[in-house]
Chains A and B, each alone.
Chain A
Amino acid sequence: NAGVMQNPRHLVRRRGQEARLRCSPMKGHSHVYWYRQLPEEGLKFMVYLQKENIIDESGMPKERFSAEFPKEGPSILRIQQVVRGDSAAYFCASSRNRTPNTEAFFGQGTRLTVV
C-alpha cells in the first residue's frame, strides 16, 4: 500500500508563473489536507477537502490559491502568478476518516522555489 504521493518533489517557477502541486492520497483515503511550511517555521493548515468538496479553506490565502480534489485523480493545489513569498514546502496529508487525528499520513512534500 503506497503512502501519500506528492509530485513534483521540487518545483521552480519564475515570478508570475503558475504552480500546480499534486497529491495522491493513500488507497482508501477520501480526506485530504494541505499544509504549508515556510522556512524555519511550523506547518500551517491551508485547506481540507473530501472528494469533490472543499470542507474548510480557512487557511488558504484569499487570492491566487485554489485547491480541488476531483472524483478521479489526485488533489491539486494551484498557485497562480507566484511571488517569492510563495516559496515554501507544501505538504499533503490524507486520512480514511475525518477523525481521529492519528490516522492522517503525510506525503514527502513539494518544495516550491520562486525565482
Chain B
Amino acid sequence: AQSVTQPDIHITVSEGASLELRCNYSYGATPYLFWYVQSPGQGLQLLLKYFSGDTLVQGIKGFEAEFKRSQSSFNLRKPSVHWSDAAEYFCAVDSGENAGNMLTFGGGTRLMVKP
C-alpha cells in the first residue's frame, strides 16, 4: 500500500526567508505526486503536481518541487516566504490514471511565518 510521510508537523520561518517542506512516499511504481495547501476552514488548493518528465516542477504562488526517485522524495520549496503563505501543506500520492482518483495524503505540515 502506498504511504506518504511529512516529517515536520510544524515549521516556523521568517518572512522573506527560504522554505523547504519535506515529503517522502512509498509506492511501487512511479506515482503521481501533488502538493496542496489548506487555509483555516477552507478546502484544499493544488499548488503543483508531478506526473512524469522534468523532475523539477513549478507551481502557483512561486512554489516549486523536485521529484527524487532515488530518495522517494518530493520536497516543496519557495525562495522567499510571504506572510500569506502561512497555512497547512499536504503532500499526496495517487496511484495513477488507470486506478482512478484516490489520493493518499501525508499528515501535513503547518507553516507559521514570523514578521
Please indicate whether A and B come from the same complex rather than being unrelated chains: no
B-side residues, CB < 8 A to A, are: none
A-side residues, CB < 8 A to B, are: none
